Amino acid sequence: MVQLYKMAWRNLGRNRRRSFFSALALGIGLALLLLMASVVAGEMRGAMESNISLQSSHLQVCATSYDEDKASLDWRYLIADPNTLAEQIATLPVVKVATPRLFMNGILMAGERSVGIRIMGIDPTSEANAPYRNGLVSGEFLAADDRGGILIGQTLAEKLGLKVGDRVVLVVNTSDGDVDEQPFIIRGIYSTHTPGYDQSVLLLPLAKAQAMARAENRASIIFVLLRDREQTDAVVAALRTNRYQIKTWLQMNALLVQTEQLSNAYMAVLYLIVLAITATVIVNTLIMAVFERTREIGILSAMGMRSSRIMAMFFAESSLLAVGGIAIGLLLGGLMVAYAARYGFYIGSYNMTGILIGERIYAYLPLKDAIVLTIVTFLVALLAALYPAMLAARMEPVEALRSGT
């Protein structure tokens, strides 16, 4: 076997430029595969993290009759005494934070301009507000006892030309079917780097939201974040009750999960296309080697070298090209993935119903995916040697010697 690889190395060295560019083509193909896989995985990972931290949480506890799409403020659809329930849920060791939230649909009026928005009443002291507190662009965060301040997204502020300190008016439907209209001052402007979300969600202190909606001490949901989302089912089992419905992050992000599965299917096709293109380079290199070494193959065959060993020699050459190409691909791909993971790709505002996509896509490449793509690339390179190896093995010694003279 060692002798076989020595011969393969010598044969590749006969035309070093061609061998190098063949390995380079394979390496570029692998680098592209790694980058493509990391971008898709990064996009799905980022979207899932955004959805969980901003919208769905790991678990949502709500009234059995509550419909999130309607955001109804009817008391029948709300949770009574939500703070007590949130405190009980927070006692579970795996729960990181549990906090009540109240949702309302309303209209924000700034001068002569108005826009429909979703109002979210929050407990300003909760850790669940970290995306808004850490993403504060200007101004200050809300206080629990603030009765005249709101927090708006940067995209919405830019759209309406608003800044900290500006006065606006909120119009909302109340729990008893009336319409309430109140003035507010913009305390701060936040950015979650998710333009579609930042232009539609406005934050109010929970107490003020409850008063404005006339919901008294009630909330729409209990927003629950876990320390380990793999423990979701265990927490659901611990909280299971007929009084409330419990939704998991998988249920609430079903569309995103389906999108990820569909994306993976499309990417598998693209991977095959890229590998097929790079495989043709290996095939072309080895076929040229067969015709250039026709006389040599005939001599080896005449000396008694079996067809299987001749095939093995070309497979050895292909494996050496594959190893060189993979080394180049891992180097180039690693650099590209590292750059994309740090700086990302700016895509701007991109909205999809039910999915929060940030303004940048940051690459993320699991070790498992890198290993699988590397192995597949190596196997494709070996398969590319099959036809040239069979072509060489089938040569008749006499004809090979005659055509080689």
In a domain? residue 58: no
In a domain? residue 57: no
In a domain? residue 246: no
Name the more confident of 250 and 260.
250
Domain boundary among 206, 241, 276: 241
Whether 303 and 338 share a structural domain: yes
pLDDT at 292: 66
Whether 203 and 297 share a structural domain: no
pLDDT at 102: 94
In a domain? residue 248: no
Whether 333 and 288 share a structural domain: yes
What is the residue-averaged pLDDT of the chain? Answer: 85
Whether 264 and 396 share a structural domain: yes
Domain boundary among 241, 274, 291: 241
Whether 399 and 271 share a structural domain: yes
Whether 282 and 388 share a structural domain: yes
Whether 79 and 38 share a structural domain: no
Query: pTM of the predicted model, to two decimals?
Result: 0.79
Q: Which of 132, 129, 82 has the alpha carbon at shortest distance from 102?
A: 82
In a domain? residue 8: yes
In a domain? residue 78: yes
In a domain? residue 167: yes
In a domain? residue 17: yes
- The total number of structural domains in the chain stands at 2
Q: Which residues pair with 345 in a beta bridge?
A: 361
Whether 81 and 146 share a structural domain: yes
Whether 32 and 150 share a structural domain: no
Q: 112-153: per-residue pLDDT in tens?
A: 898 999 999 999 999 999 999 999 999 999 998 889 999 999
As a whole-number percent, the residues of the chain with pLDDT over 90 amount to: 38
Whether 187 and 83 share a structural domain: yes
Highest mean pLDDT among 213-217, 311-315, 393-397: 213-217
Question: What is the extent of the structural domain holding 137?
Answer: 65-241
Whether 323 and 219 share a structural domain: no
Whether 263 and 351 share a structural domain: yes
* Amino acid (1-letter code) at residue 51: N
Please give the Cα distance from 397 to 389 (Å, whole number).
Answer: 15
Domain boundary among 207, 241, 275: 241
Q: 253-311: per-residue pLDDT in tens?
A: 888 888 888 888 888 888 888 888 888 888 887 777 777 666 666 666 666 667 677 77
